[in-house]
Amino acid sequence: MKVLKNLFYKIKLSYILLAIAIIYFSEFSYTQYQGETIFKKTCIACHTIGRGRLVGPDLKDIFDRRSEEWILSFVKSSQSMIKSGDPDAVAIFNEYNKLVMLDQNLTDDQIKDIMLYIKQQSSGSGQTIALTEDIKSSTGMTIDEAGENEVSAGRNLFLGKVRLNNGGPACISCHNVTGENLIAGGLLAMDITNTYSRLNAPGVYSIMFSSPFPVMNAAYNNNKITKDEAFYLIAFLKQADINSANQQPVNYQSNFILMGLIGTVILFGIYGGIWWNRKRKPVNDKIFKRQLKTY
Amino acid sequence: MDVRSQVSMLFHLDKCIGCHTCSIACKNIWTDRKGAEYMWWNNVETKPGTGYPTKWEDQDIYKGGWEKNGKSVSLKGSGKLKGLVNIFHNPHLPVIDDYYEPWTYKYSDLIEAPAQDDQPTARPISLITGKPIEIKAGPNWDDDLSGTPDYARKDPNLQNLSPAEQEAMFQLEKMAFFYLPRICNHCLNPACVASCPSGAIYKRGEDGVVLINQKVCRAWRMCVTACPYKKSYYNWSTGKSEKCILCYPRIESGIAPACMHSCVGRIRYLGVMLYDADRINEVASADINNLVNSQLDIILDPFDEDVIASAKENGVADSTIKAAQDSPVYKFVKEWGIALPLHPEFRTLPMLFYVPPMLPVMASLSEQRNKEQLDKLDPIAKKWDDDWLYDTSTEELWGTIEEARFPLQYMANLFSAGDTCKIKDIMKKLMAVRIHRRDKTVGDLDKENVKKTLKDVNLSTDEADDIYYLTSLAKFDDRFVIPPAHREQAIEMIENTGDVKGSSGFGFIEKPARGI
């Protein structure tokens, strides 16, 4: 009987322990899962874990360098930290080409989840995390091997002469690239002429797929750019970046006004030609002009 | 032969006294409205003079009417291609200053002005802007006595006159003139109808009155340009064009149009004419020398059996044919041949005819030494110190015609496309009637000469008496032979007018799927 009773207690205890373990571990894995989801959604475009710098710094071992409070407030609003003159924040801002890290609309708990995820991945057993491996076309071509054909395909995609496969808007609607054979692009977003040299291929690639910029994210969220398209666009941007060194700046803004003026003159010239013999004034004009006026 | 009936008009210019009663009658009935103040559907102008709107006869300015184009005619200022090019900018439109800016006076100032040192005056107020204006012109500005040289010397009809003839007119311009009353001519080949891009203008089938459908008019104003007589006006308030409607509501009830009814000088006649619609194209594009004759030829004899049969076939009512037979206009124009259309060279085949005036033309001025006469006058009497005598007597029978005060060329420019022979014939006929009547009533002329004059112009004494009767004694019913309207047979009573709705404008377009 006693044995049975002991056995029962042992089993009961182990059940309780098991339940605690399940609860504990499921809680842990849940937060870890949360962190992973958010990281892959919002952070991965600019950051890697253990794969080197991308747009922003590699986040592996971030906790060796910064305190959790610092990270928390930086993620919430990097700009206000920079403005307040935090030396670390200013240093990072300058180091990464003064690219603004957007304020993330995340709760403290969510940020902590992400940190937990980073911690876990940073530890020796974790994998390195990055959006892409090597950027290659479907035929296995690398960016460095891209030739005139790829660049021109990219240019057509950029200009919207060829539609993006999934129906996303052409880049030129919002972005400008200065270069030959290119018309002036939109001013809604950054001029991306020299983006390639700032971000390199992986940076550009990651922004295309998972843009941290809300408008771009909304524009392409349901109309993803395909891998090949991204490859061509990057090839084009690379070439544009190289060309821009020798490129005379094409200023369409002032030309536009000038062309408008010339166009107006031509248009009115045509009108004047068509109606050259129109009746210009009343037939009594001379008489009216001669008449005395009293007021 | 496609016989149709046309209510046409005749103005006897010798009888016009220039009282403007017609203009006022018309204005009171039809154009005393906002936006129509400047319109004079009926206006009376003096000739020589530039008229209303100023220089309306000069188609180099206004581009009205038709011009001969090979075997046919085309509109001078509008039409399909020209109209389309100019549809948003009609380059030859008269502006308000070509007519005149209508005004009234601020009468309320006379009774409402506060006490002040000066007598209040009623300032002129523009009827368009409502603001005080400087009156610059009016429909008859500087007009009577042929106006200043600004107006008389710029008369477009003076072209083709030799410098000597023009000089003679300039010497006389201060005392020689005649009146020219004008309304819409209700032409057989109306340029306004042809020019309308909306198909809003139409010539009524039953009596040929040209009307603008106010519901269809889209204010392109091509008709304003196209009408060489400038008798289509744009109403700036309603945004539609308007024109003389020949008082069709009055005609339909058997009453003469207001301008004719009120005419003090009884110069106006109205009657039906039958014409051959098949020949309009041929007549409109006739050679300039043959223009007047062919325009008169298109009018058919209402007594001719073939014409009557063909008219009946076309649904012309018996009563209308009877009216055509009694038509005073037919008598003046066709039987006696003493009336001509105004400016036939515009090729619109106007259906308003004029008996050219004789009086200012036939009289002469001679220098007289009147000292003897003056000496007989009472010393306190007013003595005129000029030596001119306005002389209507003649030595020779046709003497004054040859040496008329108004060169015949001037009259010919107005009424016969420059053909002076036509004018001379008419003058001779009118003169012969007078000589015949003088012989009858006074009897102081040589009988042989009287017979000779009538024979010269191919008039019998009966005809001369008829002309005299219709000119001088005609009663209301003689002057206006108005056909019954037969509204019971009007097209909308027997056919669905919706059948032709939408088939107007530029050719016969396909109707839009949504319907019209």
pLDDT at B508: 40
CA angle A109, A115, A121 (to 5 degrees): 140
Contact A291 B54 (CB under 8 A): no
CA angle B323, B327, B332 (to 5 degrees): 170
A32 inside domain = yes
**A208 with A191: CB under 8 angstroms?**
no
Amino acid at position B1, single letter: M
Q: Which of residues 98-157 of B touch A (CB under 8 A)?
A: 98, 132, 134, 136-137, 150
Residue that terminates a domain, selected from A57, A92, A122: A122
**Of B54, B92, B98, which has the smallest distance from its Cβ to A278's Cβ?**
B92
Q: Nearest-CA residue of chain B relative to A284?
A: B98
Name the β-bridge partners of B391: B364
User: Are residues A166 and A111 both part of a single domain?
Assistant: no
pLDDT at B232: 96
A127 inside domain = no
pLDDT at A35: 79
Rounded to a whole number of angstroms, the distance from the CA of B148 to the nearest CA of chain A is: 11
Q: How far apart are CA B216 and CA B503, in angstroms?
A: 12
B97 touches chain A (CB under 8 A): yes
Tokens 């030859």 found at = B92
pLDDT at B175: 61
User: Are residues A58 and A85 both part of a single domain?
Assistant: yes
Spell out the residues 6+ positions from residue A273 whose beta carbon is closer than 8 angstroms to its own.
none
Give SS3 for B151. Answer: helix
pLDDT at B11: 97
H or E element at residue A200? helix A195-209
Contact A294 B137 (CB under 8 A): no
Residue that terminates a domain, selected from A84, A104, A122: A122
> At residue B233, what are phi and psi to the nearest 5 degrees?
-120, 150
**A177 with A151: CB under 8 angstroms?**
no
A45 inside domain = yes
**B362 with B401: CB under 8 angstroms?**
yes
Relative orientation angle of helices B420-441 and B447-456, to the nearest 10 degrees? 150
Reference A103, options A83, A119, A85; nearest CA is: A83
**Of A279, A291, A295, which has the smallest distance from its Cβ to B61's Cβ?**
A279
Contact B134 A283 (CB under 8 A): no
Give SS3 for A111. Answer: helix
Contact B134 A294 (CB under 8 A): yes
Burial A113-133 (b: 16+ CB within 10 A, else e): bbbbbbbebbeeeeeebbbbe
Contact A291 B134 (CB under 8 A): yes
Could you say which residues of chain A have pLDDT below 70?
1-4, 7-8, 10, 21, 23-32, 124-134, 248-252, 295
Burial B373-412 (b: 16+ CB within 10 A, else e): eeeeeeeeeeeeeeeeeeeeebeebeebbeebbbbbbbbb
Contact A295 B132 (CB under 8 A): yes
Q: Is A2 exposed, middle or buried (0-12, 13-18, 19+ CB in 10 A)?
A: exposed
User: Are residues A60 and A26 both part of a single domain?
Assistant: yes
**A130 with A231: CB under 8 angstroms?**
no
Give SS3 for A159. Answer: helix
Q: Is B317 exposed, middle or buried (0-12, 13-18, 19+ CB in 10 A)?
A: middle
Q: How far apart are CA A104 and CA A212, in angstroms?
A: 9
Contact A291 B62 (CB under 8 A): no
**Of B86, B92, B150, which has the smallest distance from its Cβ to A287's Cβ?**
B150
Name the β-bridge partners of B3: B276
pLDDT at B506: 43
User: Are residues A155 and A234 both part of a single domain?
Assistant: yes
Give mean pLDDT, residues B364-380: 70
Question: Token pair of B398, please?
Answer: 């046709």
Tokens 């051959």 found at = B276
Cis status, amide bond into A87, omega within 30 of 0: no
Q: How far apart are CA B175 and CA B386, in angstroms?
A: 14
Instruction: Kindly tell me if the per-residue pLDDT of B387 is higher than 80.
Output: no
The end-to-end CA distance of chain A, in Å, is 130
Provide the pairing of β-strand B268-276 with B364-367.
unpaired
Contact B98 A283 (CB under 8 A): yes
Reference B98, options B63, B138, B45; nearest CA is: B138
Provide the pairing of β-strand B72-75 with B340-341.
unpaired
Contact A283 B150 (CB under 8 A): no
SS (H, E, C) B297-358: HCEECCCCHHHHHHHHHCCCCHHHHHHHHCCHHHHHHHHCCCCEECCHHHCCCCCEEEECCC
> At residue B46, what are phi and psi to the nearest 5 degrees?
-100, 150
Residue that terminates a domain, selected from A88, A122, A156: A122
User: Are residues A104 and A184 both part of a single domain?
Assistant: no
Amino acid at position B288, single letter: I
Question: Token pair of A160, please?
Answer: 């919207």
CATH code at position A292: 1.10.760.10
**B499 with B492: CB under 8 angstroms?**
no
Q: Is A185 exposed, middle or buried (0-12, 13-18, 19+ CB in 10 A)?
A: buried
User: Are residues A112 and A138 both part of a single domain?
Assistant: no
Reference B87, options B241, B219, B231, B235; nearest CA is: B219
List the domains of chain B with CATH numbers. 267-360+397-479 (3.30.70)
Single pTM value for the model: 0.68
A75 inside domain = yes
B179 touches chain A (CB under 8 A): no
Name the β-bridge partners of B6: B273
Reference B20, options B60, B61, B52; nearest CA is: B52
Rounded to a whole number of angstroms, the distance from the CA of A257 to the nearest CA of chain B is: 27
Rounded to a whole number of angstroms, the distance from the CA of A272 to the nearest CA of chain B is: 11
Q: How far apart are CA B447 and CA B514, in angstroms?
A: 79
Q: How far apart are CA B352 and CA B396, in angstroms?
A: 34
User: Are residues A114 and A226 both part of a single domain?
Assistant: no
User: Are residues A116 and A174 both part of a single domain?
Assistant: no
- Supply the mean pLDDT for chain B: 86
User: Are residues A272 and A195 both part of a single domain?
Assistant: yes
- Measured CA distances, A81 to A78, A99, A101, A103, B223 (Å): 5, 14, 11, 11, 76
Tokens 């129906």 found at = A167
Q: Nearest-CA residue of chain A relative to B55?
A: A283
- Which DSSP category does A191 fall into? B
User: Are residues A88 and A31 both part of a single domain?
Assistant: yes
pLDDT at A179: 79
A188 inside domain = yes
pLDDT at A182: 78
The tens digit of pLDDT for each residue in B270-308 reads 999 999 999 999 999 999 999 999 999 999 999 999 999
> At residue B236, what are phi and psi to the nearest 5 degrees?
-75, -15
Q: How far apart are CA B384 and CA B184, in angstroms?
A: 43
Give mean pLDDT, residues B209-220: 92
Contact B89 A283 (CB under 8 A): no
Contact B98 A278 (CB under 8 A): no
Rounded to a whole number of angstroms, the distance from the CA of B136 to the nearest CA of chain A is: 6
Q: How far apart are CA A101 and CA A109, in angstroms?
A: 20
**Of B55, B93, B134, which has the smallest distance from its Cβ to A295's Cβ?**
B134
The tens digit of pLDDT for each residue in B42-83 reads 999 988 888 899 999 999 999 999 999 888 899 998 878 888
Domain that holds residue A66: 2-122
Instruction: Kindly tell me if the per-residue pLDDT of B511 is higher than 70.
Output: no
Give mean pLDDT, residues B142-167: 74
Q: Considering its fold, how many domains does chain A have in total?
A: 2
Instruction: Kindly tell me if the per-residue pLDDT of B512 is higher than 60.
Output: no
Contact B85 A283 (CB under 8 A): no
Most B-contacting residue of A283, A290, A293, A294 (CB-CB within 10 A), to test interface? A283
DSSP per residue, B252-307: HTT---HHHHT-TT--EEEEEEEEEGGGHHHHHT--GGGHHHHHHHTEE-TT-HHH
The end-to-end CA distance of chain B, in Å, is 35
A88 inside domain = yes
User: Are residues A206 and A257 both part of a single domain?
Assistant: yes
A72 inside domain = yes
Q: Which of residues 215-274 of A touch B (CB under 8 A)?
A: 274
**Of B91, B98, B134, which has the smallest distance from its Cβ to A275's Cβ?**
B91
pLDDT tier at B201 (50, 70, 90 boundaries)? very high
Ranges B24-38, B67-81, B169-183, most confident: B24-38
Instruction: Kindly tell me if the per-residue pLDDT of B378 is higher than 90.
Output: no
pLDDT at A25: 61
Please give the ipTM for the structure prediction: 0.73
User: Are residues A95 and A208 both part of a single domain?
Assistant: no
Most B-contacting residue of A271, A285, A287 (CB-CB within 10 A), to test interface? A287
